[in-house]
Structure 1
C-alpha cells in the first residue's frame, strides 16, 4: 500500500512522541493504526511494537506473514502460530524480553482488548499504561497525496449511492430498503463498504444522536435524512443529504436551507492556520442570531481519513485544534434540535488547501 519511506516517516513521527513523553514503546493493536503505521489493509489479529528507539516489529498470524512482508514497509515481521500462540501472549513476550517488567507503554485507548491487557500485565506487572490515541490522530491528520487520492476515490462512490437513494425513495419504503439500493450502487462502483452504520431516517427519528436505517416505513410529505459512507483501500469518506417527499413542512425545508448557509460559513472559514473553535464560533454566531442557540450541538465536524470521524481535528466549541493544509474534515454534522421542525442534515467531506477548501464529495445540496 505504501512505500517504505512513507512508513518510516510515519514511524519516526510516532517515535518522537514516545521520546517526548518518555515512553519505552507503543503497542498498536487496532486496524486503523495498523493500516497507517504498517501500510497494510488486510490484517487482523496483529500488533505493531514501536520502540522509542530502534526498529519496529509487526506481529501477525503465520499464514499472513509472507503477504504482510511483501505489502508493508517494515523490515521485521514476526509470525505467531495459533492456537499454540496468540497475539496477546506473543506481544507480552517480546515487550518483556526487550524492556523488562516495568516499561511505559503507549496504547490507543479505544482499541485494546481486556485479554491483551491481562496478558501484558501478567507478564509485566509493573507496566505503566500510557495513552497515545490523540497523538496518533494528530500524526494522521495531515494527509499525503496518496491518502488524498484514496479519500477522493471513496468520496466519488458516495455520489453513486446518494443518487440511487434519491431515485428509489418513495412513500411506503422502509429506511433499510432505501439504504440497500444506495449501498448496492456504491458497492458496484467500487466501495469496500462503510466504516459506520449508515442512516436513512424518517422525520420522527432524525433527532436521535446515533440512529441507523431500520425497518421503519417512510411516509409521504416529510423530510428523509440520508447519511452514507464509503471506503477504498482503508480510507473513508462520508456525505449526508436531506430529501423532501411531497409537501414536506415548509419550516423544515427552510431549516435545511439555513443549515446549508451554515455550511457555507464553515467552509469559508476552513483555511490553514485557523483554530477549530474559530470555525465553530463563526457558525454559532449565525445560529444564535437565528434563535437556535439552545438547539445546536457543540461539535460540528471531525477529521476524516482511515476512520470516518477522527478525533483530531475536531471542529467544536472551545477547541484549540489548528487547521493545516491537506487536512481532510467533514462539515457540517449537526441538525437543529427543534422538537417540531428539526432534523434535516447536511454533511460533506472537504480538503483543506492553501486557498478555498475543496469539496471531495460532490452532490447537489439544494432541497428536492
Structure 2
C-alpha cells in the first residue's frame, strides 16, 4: 500500500477506535478516491477493519488494475452471478467477524446494498460514520492542495470566458457553454456541481442553474462555476453588472465583499467556525440585513465542493486548522429588492497567512 494511503488508513482507524467501530464499509465515490488514490472507479467498495489491513472489492475486470495502482489487496466479483454487496459480506466474514459493529456513509449507501448487509449480519450494529470521513479529509495534504489549485486555475479560465461572453441579448446557457469549454481546455476533469449563470430576479433563487433566459441591460448576472482535477474541486462566484445597475445592488455587493474580507481575516488556525461567521455577520448586521442572511456562510472544499467539516456558520464549534480549505462567502442577502449579488472564493488556511486559491479579481465586474 502506498505511504499516503497508509497514513490515511491509520488516521481513520484512530477515529474508528473512539466510536468502537469494528469495520468501515466505504462505497461513496469521494471516499473511494481518498482511500485508493484512483479516480477511474465504479462498482467498488473498500473495507477498513479496525485491527487489520484494508481491502478493495470491485468488478473482476478491474481487480488487477485497482490492486496494482492502489496497493490494496483487491477481490473481484463476477456480476451478475455475484453482487458488490454479496462480495462485501463474504470478505467481512473472511476477516473473522460474525456480528461486527459496522460503520458506513449514511447518506451514500444504496438501500439494496444496506439490505444485504443487514440480512447477513442481523445481530450487528450499524453506525453512521459520515463525520469520521469528513474529519479525516478536512486537513489537506500538500498534494491535495495542489490538486485544488489546479482545479482553481481551470475555474479562473472559465470565469474569464464567461465575463467575455456576457452581454445583453445572449442567453445564460450560451455563457455557460463558453465557460465549460474554457474550463475543460484548462485541464478540468469535469463539473463538481451544476454551474449557475443567473440574471435579474433569478439571482435570488437558492440553487438556480443556467436557462434560456436572455440577459438584459441593467441586470445583475451571477456566475458560479466549479471545476475538478483528479477528483478535487474548486469553485468561485462573481457578480457582473450589465450596464448601469441600481445603486442599491452595488451597495449590497460592496457589503458582501467587505464581509468576505473580514471572514478571511478571521479564518486563522485555532479559531472557531462561529468566530469566522461572526466576523462576516457583523458587517451584514450593521447594515440592517441580518434577517435576510443565511446561518451558514461556508464549507470545507476538497473531494466535494461542499464538505461537511468544517462548516462555517452560526454557533459552529469546528476548530480551524492549518491545511484546511474552505469557501467564503456562500450566501447573498435574500432581500427581494436589493438581493442577488454574490462572491465566493476557495481559501487555503496557512500557518502564517491564508491563500486565496481562486485568484480572479474580486471587485464588481462591469460590462
TM-score, scaled relative to structure 1: 0.97
Please state if 1:71 is matched with 2:69.
Answer: yes
Judge conservation of contact 2:255–2:283 (CA < 8 Å) in 1.
no
Aligned-partner Cα distance in 1 for 2:17–2:321: 24
Matching of residue 263 in structure 1 with residue 235 in structure 2: no
Match of 2:32 among 24, 31, 34: 34
Identify the residue that residue 217 of structure 2 maps to in structure 1: 220
Q: Which residue of 2 is the match for residue 45 of structure 1?
A: 43
- Structure 2: gaps of 5 or more residues: none
2:330 is equivalent to residue 333 of structure 1: yes
Equivalent residue number for residue 56 of structure 1: 54
Separation in 2 of the partners of 1:218 and 1:96?
Answer: 60
Secondary structure at 2:285 match in 1: helix
- Decide whether the 8 Å contact of 2:346 with 2:358 is kept in 1: yes
Q: For each residue in 1:37-60, what CA deviation from the matched residue of structure 2 results, as whole angstroms up to 9, or x when unmatched?
A: 121111111000100111111001
Q: Does the 8 Å contact 1:304/1:329 carry over to 2? A: yes
- Name the CA distance, whole Å, in 2 between partners of 1:217 and 1:356: 42
Aligned counterpart, 1:22: 20
Match of 1:312 among 309, 314, 317: 309
Stretch of structure 1 that moved more, 226-235 or 245-254: 245-254
CA deviation vs aligned residue, 1:335-363 (integer Å, no higher than 9, x gap): 00111110111000010001221110011
Aligned residues of 1:96 and 1:123 also touching (Cα < 8 A): no
Tell me how large the CA RMSD over aligned residues is.
1.2
Q: CA deviation at 1:101?
A: 4.3
Map 1:86-235 to 2 at 5 A.
86-235=83-232
Deviations 1:84-142 (CA, angstroms, capped at 9, x unpaired): 11211111222234354422100111110011011111211222110111111111011
Contact 1:93 1:123 in 2 (8 A): no
Match of 1:278 among 275, 278, 292: 275
Tell me the distance in 2 between the aligned counterparts of 1:216 and 1:123: 53
- Structure 1 residues 259 and 266, CA, compared in 2 at 3 Å: closer, same or farther? same
Whether the 8 Å CA contact 1:301–1:333 is kept in 2: the answer is: yes
Q: What 5-or-longer segments of structure 1 have no aligned partner? A: none
Residue 217 of structure 1 and its aligned partner are, at CA, apart by: 2.1
